[in-house]
Structure 1
Amino acid sequence: MSRITELTAEPLDLPLTEPFEISLGVQHEAANVLVTVETESGVTGYGEGSPLAPVTGETREAALATAQAAADIVEGRPVEGYRALVEELRSTFPGMVSATFAVETAVLDAFCREKGIALSELFGGPPEPVETDMTIPIVGPEDATRRATAAATGGYEHLKIKTGNDVTEDVERVVAIHEAAPDAALKIDANQGWTPKETAEFADEIAERGIELDLIEQPVAAADIAGLADTRRRVDVPIAADEAVFTPADAVRVVREEAADIINAKLGKSGPLAVAEIVGIAKGANLDCMVGCMLESAVGIHTSAHVVAGTGAFSYVDLDGNRLLAEDVIDSGEGPMHEISGPGHGVTPENW
């Protein structure tokens, strides 16, 4: 195997088809970071990070600067030593999760391309198709109906609904979506917007309307693990931890405090290698696993899909980020199925 000769990082601006609102704010575009690594054998690996300050704690400017600074660590290192390299990156740049995700992905992609294998094989399985849900942001009932109808018509059988502002308005949005797509499985994501009491009120009202939910994701503040555990005791719907889990140590804490039924192991928070560790912790504790995403192009989304296919560990898949873009970096298709391939994650950006 060869050494990494160059790392470059540049902005990747990706306008959205429509504004995307969650309880933490509104996005009109994805202001991402694209990282490229070159090896002495002529192989190129690509990685992407999608920083969002309220979630990842980074601005795009900070993530870009970190990714560029990572060249001092990466260049000259053998690509097959990716595990030690990733550990050094994360210890050198603690908390810069989007930047290190982008660099880690580029290095893993280059390694797999040199070996001629799909990234999924690094995690234990072939690159099989992966089915995602579709997310409906915080919108009024009429717009929610339109989006749910379009998703159902497009073949989506799983819908994720953003909530976390006004409980009454959130309930009406869920009711509208259920009426528009009555056969769809529904997940709720409050993005830290509620208290345990509000979550219980929401769950009770939804149950009274006769609507079943697959899960409620991160209803309370990320730091409030006690509140997350309290919420889990209050409601019958399975509770998922998302922003509460960035590292394997975070996952251990959630398990010990019996704070969740499901862990959302998102590559944009943790990186591929740490996600595999979090999956092991969750499975050892008999918790289900979910994979989520940020507003990433096919580079980030297909990377996550390879981890899903390789581990075979995820009961819930939320990898629709590139389906919300006005234009992807490749022609990645439409609908709920991600057709992935190798070598590496199989994506060579073209349209940017």
Structure 2
Amino acid sequence: MIVERIEVYRLDVPLTDPFEISLGTKHEAENLLVRVETDSGTVGWGEAAPLEPITGETIDSAIETAKAGVSVLEGRDLRNRRSIVTDLEAALPGAVSARLALETALYDAYCRERDISLAECFGGSPGPIRTDLTVSIVDPDTAAAEAESALEAGFDELKVKVGGDVSADIERVAAVREVAPNAGVKVDANQGWQPKEAIQFAHEARTRGLDLTLLEQPVHRDDVRGLKRVTEAVRIPVAADEAVFTPTDAHRIAASGAADVINIKAAKSGLTDGAAIAEIARGANLEVMIGCMLESALGLHASAHLVAGLGGFSYVDLDGNLSFERNVADVTVGPTLETRGPGHGIVPDPSMVPDTPE
């Protein structure tokens, strides 16, 4: 299980519609792929979707950092994957996207060598994982139309992006709730509000009878006191997302009682630390959620295997590829991710991988 060759690729995929959140608008997925090959010829794949306002990385910087991390993996025995991940964290501090792509590829190669699923590395077995569908910051009519399409496609959980003008956000959520009265509806502010705005939104949503199941990261990630203020003031469960990148962050949120839920994203924490964060949350009696960036089926299925392996996730938001013009692999696109092995089960379509690595 010796790592013999590593290649880093750029993956650009246009989106069918612009994806707008409080931090900005994306028109295409700009991701990186990592291919790891062992001395036996086994190949593992990893992916990450850097988003500069969240991860601090551009696609170009993430690719260059991943290339710098190649030397950490070359010649290493994949059976020592935990120590390899530790060395990656030391060599590439803060480079969460670059590390994730490398880490996922080495986990995938390890599992394929062993002919097991990635879920088995985390104590479970693969199975179907249902996700919600996200409605971005659009006008109420568009939001309603997107929600109707989601229901027709079989989704029963929706997430609505908010974090701007509270009145406009309320109208967007109300439009979704009107056409989806029986669906679970979460909202995600992506750090867009001050505490008083988040509390105002929650109060108005309750007054309007919008029946929300989650309020995700309402305030800036560094404002833990503000997050705690919101959590204590509203009846909707509050999730910490951008506030938690590391197990240390999770411990701080748990110890301060700043949130009811922790959103674990491989894009922020990686797979190994993501599993550690889940255990910290459960030890503190907090619920856990899994989220995503604009990953393709490859990255999303890796996260779905983490869910299948650990179990106990109350909220699943793994819909990043649903607006891709083309998917990286031939998988069914819809509310259910069918996880299977070996590894994370996804091999990119050769036509989607550039002929030449970076």
Range of TM-score over shorter length:
over 0.9
State the SS of the aligned residue for 1:240: strand
In the alignment, is the contact (CA less than 8 A) between 1:279 and 1:313 conserved in 2?
no
Q: Deviations over 1:5-43 (max 9, x none)?
A: 011101011111110000000000010000000000100
Query: In the alignment, is residue 79 of structure 1 matched against residue 82 of structure 2?
Result: no
State the SS of the aligned residue for 1:64: helix
Residue 179 of structure 2 is matched in structure 1 by 180
Residue 136 of structure 1 is matched in structure 2 by 135
State the SS of the aligned residue for 2:50: coil
Q: Deviations over 1:96-131 (max 9, x none)?
A: 001100000000000000000000011111110000
Q: Aligned Cα RMSD in Å?
A: 0.7
- Cα distance in 1 for partners of 2:16, 2:180 equals 21
- 1:290-301 matches, within 5 Å, as 290-301=289-300
- 1:252-291 matches, within 5 Å, as 252-291=251-290
Residue 341 of structure 1 is matched in structure 2 by 340
* 4+ aligned runs moved over 6 Å, structure 1: none
- Cα distance in 2 for partners of 1:332, 1:254 equals 36
- 1:126-275 matches, within 5 Å, as 126-275=125-274
- Cα distance in 1 for partners of 2:246, 2:48 equals 17
Count of residues in Structure 1 that have an aligned counterpart in Structure 2: 351
- Cα distance in 1 for partners of 2:66, 2:318 equals 24
Query: In the alignment, is residue 308 of structure 1 matched against residue 307 of structure 2?
Result: yes
Q: Which amino acid aligns with 1:205?
A: E
- Cα distance in 1 for partners of 2:110, 2:28 equals 31
Residue 66 of structure 2 is matched in structure 1 by 67
Residue 355 of structure 2 is matched in structure 1 by none
Residue 30 of structure 1 is matched in structure 2 by 29
| Structure 2, unaligned runs of 5 or more | 353-358
Q: Which amino acid aligns with 1:112?
A: C
Q: CA deviation at 1:307?
A: 0.4
Q: CA deviation at 1:313?
A: 2.2
Q: Quick one: percent identity of the two aligned structures?
A: 52
- Cα distance in 1 for partners of 2:318, 2:333 equals 12
State the SS of the aligned residue for 1:271: helix
- Cα distance in 2 for partners of 1:90, 1:64 equals 16
| Structure 1, unaligned runs of 5 or more | none
Residue 10 of structure 1 is matched in structure 2 by 9
- Cα distance in 2 for partners of 1:45, 1:200 equals 45
Residue 327 of structure 2 is matched in structure 1 by 328
Q: Which amino acid aligns with 1:159?
A: L
Residue 123 of structure 1 is matched in structure 2 by 122
Q: Which amino acid aligns with 2:30?
A: A
- Cα distance in 2 for partners of 1:302, 1:348 equals 11
In the alignment, is the contact (CA less than 8 A) between 1:34 and 1:102 conserved in 2?
yes
In the alignment, is the contact (CA less than 8 A) between 1:43 and 1:114 conserved in 2?
yes
Q: CA deviation at 1:334?
A: 2.4
